[in-house]
Amino acid sequence: METKRESESSSGSIIVGVGNTMMLDEGIGVRVVREMKKSGNYPSGFEIDEVGASSFNIIHLISSKNIAVLVDCAYMGEDSGVIRMFTPKEAESRKIRTGLSLHEGDLVQAVRLMEHTGVMPKWLYFFGIEPVEVAPGDRLSPLLDEKLDEYADFINENILSVIKKIEDADA
């Protein structure tokens, strides 16, 4: 998805793992990117970073990037362990917020904010992974833990495919 920017030109590309590693599968995004970083299983020229649950911190990380990839735990109605790639246009947040405190992060809303303020990455993709369980705990469920390499491969392959499409379009 390409978004017209008002002021800043896009620069660099980044893969960001999002989540809380102290809440079991909620931390899958962070665990996956750590695995990718450790093994070097990610496209060259990409930064790898991780962030907790603060939507605003995510905005600061990915604003105006050329390609930004967010890896996160996602309730998508899929079987546990399933990974899907999607763009912001393909998803609507179902979260209900009270607005009573700053602790109600919503990545989809953060993306809308970037769109409206003209700092969207030129290309933005989500990789959502359906959790088995989100509850206090500093590890992953066995199902997701076993699939870390598989997730890394899936993300890497899909990003390479995206890069090829972009290059072909630019050619």
The CA–CA distances, whole Å, from 151 to 67, 83, 97, 127, 129 equal 19, 7, 30, 9, 9
Closer Cβ to other proteins, 73 or 159, answer by number: 73
Closest distance of CB 168 from other proteins, Å: 26
Contacts with other proteins, residue ranges (CB under 8 A): 18-20, 22-23, 26, 51-57, 59-60, 72-77, 86, 90-109, 112-113, 116-117, 126, 128, 131, 134, 136
Closer Cβ to other proteins, 51 or 68, answer by number: 51
Closer Cβ to other proteins, 96 or 169, answer by number: 96
- Longest C-alpha distance within the chain, in Å? 49
Sequence-distant contacts of 114-118: CB under 8 A, at least 24 apart: 114/59, 114/62, 114/63, 115/3, 115/88, 118/3, 118/4, 118/5, 118/6, 118/7, 118/8
Instruction: List the structure tokens of 115.
Output: 């769109």
Closest distance of CB 13 from other proteins, Å: 20
Closest distance of CB 69 from other proteins, Å: 14
Amino acid letter for position 166 = I
Closest distance of CB 50 from other proteins, Å: 10
Closer Cβ to other proteins, 43 or 52, answer by number: 52
Closer Cβ to other proteins, 9 or 41, answer by number: 9
141 neighbors 28 (Cβ within 8 angstroms): no
Closest distance of CB 170 from other proteins, Å: 29
The bridge status of strand 83-86 relative to strand 123-129 is antiparallel
